[in-house]
Structure 1
Amino acid sequence: AQVREARVTGALEMVVSQTERLDALVASLLALAQPFQVQRQRIDLAAWIEERHQAHAELAEKKQLQLGTTLDLPSFASGLSTSALDPVQMARALDNLLLNALAHCEAGGRIDIGARLGADGRLQLWVADDGPGVAPELRESLFDPFVSQRSGGTGLGLVLVREIVHAHGGSITLAATERGARFDMELPWRAS
């Protein structure tokens, strides 16, 4: 009876995990199927980044990972408030990058969310980790639909990130790093 109960429990857990995966896939497909309406709002960048940090702090702690933030404050001489970003859409983009990093890093690793203002007056936002990095054969196709390095991944997370960044008039690249992965986003910025 115990064996049968264990099998039933195992089967139910499998059904739940597959259902969650399908939910994520459908949500991503629906998000990609409609043009992004960028609702620009006034935000304080430091507070917004801290929100994203806090949203993932518990999972990072559970996985024994350090989650840090790097704000290059001198580069924001005119203040950290902007009306150039949609905080909800950009949070979705940043969350996808952070979840990828959290999935790939091993205990003892570090993930960093960073921001600085470039010489051209554009916002540079990044998520970097010291995990295993991206397999060389995937680097070219990483932003293509259904390409995933993660077991159980939908291969739509980075597509979604790219679409959100492009809708803002920005760009995203996988930086060349000696270790881990670093995704650099460059976005419009105007102090307000």
Structure 2
Amino acid sequence: MRSIVGALSLPALIALCAALSALTFAGLSLGFSTAPGWRSLRWYALAAVLSAMFTVGDAITTLAVPGHWYAWFARFNMFLAGLHGACWFFFDAAQRGRKLARWERAVVGVALVAALTNLIPGLTVTDRIVAREVSWLSLTYRDVIPTHLGGAVSIYYVLALAVLGVRTIRDPGPGGRAQGVALLFLAATALHDTVVFSFALAAPYLLSLGFLAVIVGVGVSVVARFVQNARALETALRALRDTREVLVRQERLAALGEMSAMVAHEVRNPLAVMFNVLATVRRGPLDEQQSMLLKIIDEEARRLQRLVTDLLDFSRPGALRRSRVEVLALVATAVDAARAGVADLSPMPALTQTVPPDLAWEHVDAELCRRALINLIDNALRAPRCRAVRVSAADDGDALSLRVSDDGEGIDEALREKVFAPFYSSRPAGTGLGLAIVRNVALAHEGSVTYSETEGGGATFTLRIPRATAPEA
């Protein structure tokens, strides 16, 4: 292996590396081309294979091989160069999802005809070989003299690549301007080699590097685009998964709501009978033990009544009855109702409200928002070690924020994800539906309800009702 590598010149080694790199990118692009929307990469893969073949043939000019090989490889490389240039036109059009324009078909047609002429001995390349020394690199190039037609064909190839490169820079396709820059660099190296050959300059040929640069440059941009699309697909799949989870949760909540409504309706009538019986029994003479037992029955019946009310509220959002709401009045009635519902609390936490007097909100279901606010205030008043509850409202620009804060113990971090789940409660006497009702109201208005820690300790719940436009008639 060392003897083989030692026999190769520096340009031959560079050409070999360029060929291997081009074949690597060709294999990757063929793999990518099986993905939907990436079939255009087959043209890039073909261009990469042709590039690899050209660079291997180009390496012959610095090696000691039989004399007739130089002319044969020169003709074959001119043929490959024509096919290579045509591939870039097809690749650019395929990337843009269209067929070749009329002028592009003309350019490609001439290039393919010119490429075929290179296969005819003596038509574009003579059999004359000229040795050119590059002493500072210890290199000897063995150049084959082209005919006038061969020189014209070479110039045509360079101009075609330059036109495509400029057009791609001015009108970037999916491959971006990098593709146009790479094509112009390839054309520039071809022009450099033409000048070096024409004036017999003591400089190495750079066309192999040009082929390598265009393949690697475009290949890197393709890989980057593929990775970007893969990430976008991953993001879309994640969003789809989240949407699916939301739909499944909504279906479950809908089913749970239907069951809750059925249970509530079945229990409400027997409850009404129980309260009537209790009222009748209390009219008669009762001893102390009987009065205590009736009180227990009454308390448990009222607890069951609260559960029925919560079940109905949880299952009932339905269609919104939107109207203009004066927020100060909404908060005031919710505070009064919540305070009446915890009249048995001792000591009663201090309850304050901060609402701009002129704050109003359009297209809101006032009753649903009032129920949600009552549940939030009730939840705060019953918080362990709560001494003060603050209710506030504000216009956040795009949403109405109703905020209820307490200074109680707050909620453990491990339980915060569960607080909005139906039938979850940290209180033995709680129904576990209060915050679930609030969440349903928020979702019905396409809003949100969130939990945060109160500064200094406690829990803060914020119900956001977005600004809505008038519903269509």
Alignment TM-score > 0.5, same fold: yes
Indicate which of 285, 303, 309 corresponds to 1:21: 303
Please state how far the C-alpha of 1:36 moved relative to its aligned partner. 2.4
**Residue 128 (1) aligns with residue 431 (2):** no
CA–CA distance in structure 1, aligned partners of residues 338 and 314 of structure 2:
24
RMSD: 2.8
Tell me the number of residue pairs that the alignment of Structure 1 and Structure 2 aligns. Answer: 182
1:34 Cα deviation after fit: 3.9
d(CA) in 1 for partners of 2:413, 2:313: 29
1:1-192 to 2 correspondences below 5 Å: 5-57=287-339, 59=343, 63-71=347-355, 73=356, 80-104=359-383, 106=385, 109-119=387-397, 121-177=398-454, 178-189=456-467
CA contact (8 A) 1:168 1:187 kept: yes
Larger fraction in helix: 2
The answer to whether the Cα contact below 8 Å between 2:317 and 2:368 also exists between their aligned partners in 1 is no
Q: Give the % identical residues.
A: 32
Once residues 300 and 425 of structure 2 are traced to their aligned partners in structure 1, the CA distance between those partners, rounded to angstroms, is: 17
Higher relative contact order (CA 8 A, sep 6+): 1
* Residue 154 (structure 1) shift: 0.7
Q: 1:13 to 1:136 in 2, by over 3 A?
A: farther
Cα distance, 1:175 vs structure 2 = 1.0
* Alpha-carbon distance in 1 for matches of 2:288, 2:413: 41
Partner SS for 2:460: strand
Matches of 1:54 and 1:166, distance apart in 2: 25
Structure 2's unaligned 5+ residue stretches are 1-285
Residue 118 of structure 1, CA deviation: 1.7
Give me the whole-angstrom Cα distance separating, in 1, the residues matched to 2:404 and 2:338: 13
Could you tell me whether the CA contact under 8 Å between 2:403 and 2:460 is conserved in 1?
A: yes
Partner of 1:19, secondary structure, is helix
Deviation at 1:56, TM superposition (A): 4.1
How far the C-alpha of 1:122 sits from its partner, in A, is 1.1
Give the Å deviation of 1:62.
6.5
Q: 1:175 to 1:89 in 2, by over 3 A?
A: same
Larger Rg: 2
- CA–CA distance in structure 2, aligned partners of residues 91 and 176 of structure 1: 23
* Stretch deviating more after TM superposition (91-100 or 79-88): 79-88
| Pair 1:45–1:87, CA change in 2 (3 A) | same
Structure 2 SS opposite 1:175: strand
